[in-house]
């Protein structure tokens, strides 16, 4: 009987990564191709666009301590528990996260280092840049390894006391030190909202307002700097009467901040989500032995920023070792638009299959395992992307986010828990409604609770699209440009589900031969059968 829980075949009992050994278990789902990305460290590679983007952002946060070499393998405690992720959060699922064993993952976000960095208490502000890993869709703006920068700024209540100021006054003094900009900012949100975006019980309204102002001013300054650089890189003489930059704040939800916001930028016709942020949940700071500190944090995706800074059309390019790519970027020279080298032909092939009958019923996978995105079915018959597609077109669209984006957005936020009742007192933290505390008037802080029981390995019997993506990556590496569901239906009599995926093969560096693509496709077809137990049609 095949082990359907594994998505990359048989794994060794123990693996070694840069001199560290890890015992694997039935949670292991990390293929060699992903482990091979660990030593690349694109954010440290000289003259790489990810490095240049990182340095540009760092330059807007003078005095913040930078951490750029934190190791990517972390515990589930660091990645999830310390941040108050509920036990059934979708981000913990093996379909979304790379595990080495039950307690060990490749970090899915730089927030995995928040608690430890606060505990070290080395500086008032810090920035952490790092590679992060997520099992995800394949297209030109998604790659299973990408880079994030986390930033945070805290203040010490005792310090305010010593200076004879209120905490809010001390923070407002710092707000005045942030450079001003003249960009129109839409911010219809109240500083906090009892149900949607609650104030933490440990913070006064004045303190929260001061921190929110400092957060928003700091991040607006950073984004305005970047987008002005991007604009001057993309401006042509003909288009010099560009429309002015527009940014807006949108209410958000993260298990580890409250209140929370996302910053969006209007870029080439679309609102684009650039970062997530909020007021740090006080239990994280308390647990990190700095209970007198309060502050804010944000997380930003470096590829997304680099793609618009340079007009880079495909996220795979960042991993290219081709000098035609690398030679176009320099830390010394001003930012110039990326000039694509010749575009090699694409070749797409379809694969259709019946799911195993047990997986048609989604096998009791519980809330943590989403069914394959049904909304993708009719819409996905869209043509394969063309060169003119914006690299960011699969990201935030205000009115009608594509299903892919909806899933992406869910990864580290997910919907906030509903307020337990209108009459209840305001929750102690932004993470309150998690699980068991609905009836407790003062819910225990979720961030400090370790999981009592391990997650049930409930996902083995059902189909998840990310497993198809993973097999495509394993077989094709960077020769696959995108994979999309083009058809899905249920047999009216047998109830079996049939899926059709279109695989778009294209190298960024050469023309693929017919024979080569056929071989890739054949291997992909047989691995789908071997690993997922599907029946080819």
Binding residues (CB under 5 A) for Mg ion: these are 409
Which of 249, 298, 318, 505 is the binder for ligand FA5 (CB under 6 A)? Answer: 298
Determine the Cα–Cα distance for residues 292 and 157; give it in Å rounded to an integer: 5
C-alpha distances in Å from residue 379, one per residue of 122, 357, 375, 389, 402: 50, 25, 7, 17, 9
Quote the DSSP letter at residue 447.
G
Q: Which is nearer to ligand FA5, 134 or 464 (CB)?
A: 134
Which residue from 52, 317, 408, 527 is in contact with ligand FA5, where contact means CB under 6 A?
408
Min dist CB 77 to ligand FA5, Å, is 16
User: Could you say whether residue 275 binds ligand FA5 (CB under 6 A)?
Assistant: yes
Closest to ligand FA5 by CB, 91 vs 433, is 91
Figure out which of the listed residues 301, 385, 402, 443 binds ligand FA5, where binding follows CB under 6 A: 301
Task: Note the Cα 194 to chain centre separation in Å.
Answer: 27
Q: Are 198 and 254 in contact (CB under 8 A)?
A: no
Q: Is 237 within 8 Å of 466 (Cβ atoms)?
A: no
- Cβ–Cβ under 8 Å, residues 87 and 455: yes
Pure H helices in 235-327: 282-287, 302-310, 323-326
Quick check: 218 binds ligand FA5 (CB under 6 A)?
Answer: no
Q: For residue 32, give Cα distances in angstroms to 36, 248, 522.
A: 6, 41, 21
For ligand FA5, which is the closer residue by CB, 75 or 518? 75
Residues in region 135-174 near ligand FA5 by CB under 6 A: 136, 142, 146, 148, 150
297 near ligand FA5 (CB under 6 A): yes
Q: What is the DSSP letter of 105?
A: E
Q: Does 209 bind ligand FA5 (CB under 6 A)?
A: no
* 3-state SS class at 440: coil
> Binding residue for ligand FA5 (CB under 6 A) from 31, 49, 299, 433?
299
Q: Whose Cβ is closer to ligand FA5: residue 194's or residue 410's? A: 410
> Minimum distance from CB of 180 to ligand FA5 (Å)?
24
**Least distance to ligand FA5, CB of residue 152, Å:** 7
Nearer to ligand FA5, 48 or 142 (CB): 142
Rounded to 5°, the CA angle 431-102-526 comes to: 115
SS3 267: strand
State the nearest-atom distance from the C-beta of 110 to ligand FA5, in Å. Answer: 7
Nearer to ligand FA5, 97 or 360 (CB): 97
Task: Give the one entry of Mg ion, ligand FA5, none that residue 301 binds, where binding means its C-beta sits below a cut-off of 5 to 8 angstroms depending on kind.
Answer: ligand FA5
300 interface partner picked from ligand FA5, Mg ion, none, CB below 5 to 8 A per type: ligand FA5
Q: ∠ at Cα 402 (396, 404), nearest 5°? A: 95
Task: Considering the complex, state which of residue 384 and residue 409 has its C-beta at the smaller distance from Mg ion.
Answer: 409
β 73-75/104-106 pair status: antiparallel
Binding to ligand FA5 by residue 304, rule CB under 6 A? yes
In the bound state with ligand FA5, the residue whose beta carbon lies nearer, of 298 and 501, is 298
Q: Using CB distances below 5 to 8 A depending on partner kind, what does residue 255 bind out of Mg ion, ligand FA5, none?
A: none
Q: Does 412 bind ligand FA5 (CB under 6 A)?
A: yes
- Nearest one of 61, 489, 8 to 298, comparing CA atoms: 61
Question: Any contact of residue 475 with ligand FA5 (CB under 6 A)?
Answer: no
- Sole binder of ligand FA5 in the list 93, 97, 111, 281 (CB under 6 A): 111
Nearer to Mg ion, 254 or 463 (CB): 254
Query: Would you say 285 or 408 has its CB closer to ligand FA5?
Result: 408
Q: How far is the CB of 37 from Mg ion (least distance, A)?
A: 22
| Beta-sheet pairing, 246-254 with 184-186 | parallel
Q: Which residue is nearest to ligand FA5 (CB)?
A: 301
Q: How far is the CB of 490 from ligand FA5 (least distance, A)?
A: 30
How far apart, in whole angstroms, are the C-alpha atoms of residue 494 and residue 279? 52
Instruction: Please enumerate in sequence order all residues whose Cβ is within 8 A of that of 240, keeping only pairs 6 or more positions apart, or say none.
Output: none
Pick 233 or 409: Cβ nearer Mg ion: 409
Q: Which does 245 bind (CB under 5 to 8 A by kind): ligand FA5, Mg ion, none?
A: none
Stretch binding ligand FA5 (CB under 6 A), from 94-102, 203-211, 269-277, 482-490 = 269-277
Q: What are phi and psi of 344, to 5 degrees?
A: -85, 155
Cis amide leading into 489 (omega within 30): no
Name the phi and psi angles at 206, rounded to 5.
Answer: -65, -40
Q: How many helices (H) and strands (E) does the chain have?
A: 15, 17
Ordered strands of the 104-106 beta sheet: 73-75, 104-106, 99-101
Report which of 30, 38, 33 is spatially closest to residue 7, judged by C-alpha positions: 30
Q: Which residues bind ligand FA5 (CB under 6 A)?
A: 109, 111, 134, 136, 142, 146, 148, 150, 254, 257, 273-278, 297-301, 303-304, 408, 411-413
């Amino acid at each position: 009987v095949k082990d359907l829980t594994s998505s990359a075949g048989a794994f060794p009992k123990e693996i070694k990564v840069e001199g560290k050994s890890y015992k694997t278990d039935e949670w292991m789902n990390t293929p060699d191709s992903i482990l091979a990305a660990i030593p690349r460290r694109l954010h440290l590679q000289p003259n790489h666009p990810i490095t240049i983007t990182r340095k540009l952002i760092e330059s807007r946060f003078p005095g913040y301590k930078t951490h750029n070499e934190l190791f990517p393998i972390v515990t589930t405690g660091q990645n999830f528990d310390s941040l108050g992720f509920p036990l059934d959060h979708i981000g913990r699922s093996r379909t979304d996260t790379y595990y080495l064993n039950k307690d060990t993952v490749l970090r899915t976000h730089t927030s995995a280092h928040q608690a430890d960095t606060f505990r070290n208490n080395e500086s008032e502000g810090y920035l952490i840049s790092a590679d992060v890993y997520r099992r995800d869709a394949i297209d030109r703006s998604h790659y299973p390894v990408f880079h994030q920068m986390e930033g945070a700024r805290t203040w010490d209540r005792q310090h305010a006391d010593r200076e004879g100021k209120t905490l809010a006054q001390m923070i407002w003094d710092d707000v005045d030190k942030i450079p001003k900009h003249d960009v129109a900012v839409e911010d219809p949100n109240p500083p906090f909202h009892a149900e949607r975006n609650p104030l933490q019980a440990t913070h006064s309204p004045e303190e929260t307002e001061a921190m929110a102002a400092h957060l928003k001013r700091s991040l607006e300054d950073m984004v305005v700097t970047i987008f002005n650089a991007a604009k001057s890189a993309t401006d042509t003489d003909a288009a010099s009467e560009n429309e002015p930059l527009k940014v807006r704040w949108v209410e958000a939800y993260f298990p580890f901040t409250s209140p929370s916001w996302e910053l969006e930028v209007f870029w080439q016709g679309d609102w684009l989500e650039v970062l997530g942020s909020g007021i740090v949940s006080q239990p994280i700071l308390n647990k990190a032995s700095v209970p007198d500190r309060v502050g804010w944090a944000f997380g930003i995706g470096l590829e997304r920023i680099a793609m618009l800074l340079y007009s880079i059309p495909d996220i795979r390019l960042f991993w290219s070792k081709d000098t035609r790519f690398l030679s176009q970027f320099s830390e010394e020279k001003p930012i110039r638009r990326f000039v694509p080298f010749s575009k090699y032909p694409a070749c797409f092939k379809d694969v259709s299959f019946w799911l195993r009958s047990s997986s048609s019923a989604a096998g009791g996978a519980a809330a943590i395992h989403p069914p394959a995105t049904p909304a993708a079915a009719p819409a996905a018959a869209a043509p394969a992307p063309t060169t003119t597609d914006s690299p960011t077109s699969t990201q935030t669209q205000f009115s009608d986010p594509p299903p892919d984006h909806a899933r992406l957005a869910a990864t580290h936020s997910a919907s906030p828990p509903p307020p337990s009742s209108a009459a209840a007192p305001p929750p102690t933290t932004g993470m309150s409604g998690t699980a068991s505390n609905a009836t407790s008037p003062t819910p225990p802080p979720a961030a400090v609770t370790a999981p009592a029981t391990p997650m049930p390995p409930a996902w083995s019997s059902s189909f998840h699209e990310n497993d198809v993506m993973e097999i495509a990556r394993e077989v094709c590496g960077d020769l696959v440009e995108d994979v999309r569901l083009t058809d899905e239906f249920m047999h009216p009599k047998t109830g079996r589900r049939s899926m059709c995926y279109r695989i778009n093969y294209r190298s960024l560096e050469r023309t693929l031969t017919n024979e080569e693509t056929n071989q890739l496709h054949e291997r992909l077809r047989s691995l789908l059968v071997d690993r997922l137990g599907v029946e080819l049609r």
